[in-house]
Amino acid sequence: MSIHLSREIENLKRKLLSLSAIVEDHVRDAVESVQHRDAELAQAVIRGDLEVDQAEVEIEEECLKVLALHQPVAVDLRFIVSVLKINNDLERIGDLAVNIARKAATLSSQSPLIVSFDLAEMSDKAQTMLRGSLDSLVNLDKSLALKVCASDDEVDDMKHDIRHQVEELISIKPEHTAVLLKLLAVSRNIERIADLATNIAEDVIYMVGGKIVRHCGDDGGLPDEELEQFGP
């Protein structure tokens, strides 16, 4: 690798990590705005989406410039391709944070409703997956990326549990249907964030080993033999 290409790759890595930190903050703030019925915090997340969009465009332009000027091959090429895909996934996660914040802004003006399910726990799990997927990128850690992929089912299970509880609550308290459906929508957005964190981890596995792992399992995920070491 030439010294110029090495510098470009390090620069891309820094920019991607900067974007990821912003996106993580937006996800955390969006969920907190739901929990605390904080319309001001929700609006801050919505306004901050422009920064995410601009950073995504800048990173994409940098990737295309590196491809054109340096024509990288092998692991360097895989890195650039992975950055392009991860960059897009981070922007989509930012959009999901905005979706959550918009629900929070609406909920803040409605009467509070006590529910038994915990969106914060689900969000913490999704954010841990996101952090892990990005750490696996920085350290080129396939083992950590696999752990992230193995965690996706846990978030899916949480979302399914919330859906069932919402359905039961709607049947008992139909007057709260609108609020409950918004909370269900929040859980779906959190689940999508976990899915995109899994996508990032799968891209890291590709970057490190040159193997595309999407759709390898019967359910469209990683092969069981790769996931089973990390437990349910």
Does pLDDT of 155 surpass 60?
yes
Distance CA 113, CA 115 (A): 6
The whole model's pTM is what?
A: 0.86
Q: What is the mean pLDDT of residues 67-84?
A: 88
pLDDT, one tens digit per residue, over 162-183 is 999 899 999 998 988 989 999 9
Q: What is the mean pLDDT of the chain?
A: 86
Domains annotated for the chain, with CATH where assigned, are: 3-230 (1.20.58.220)
pLDDT, one tens digit per residue, over 111-154 is 777 777 778 889 889 989 988 988 887 788 999 999 999 999 99
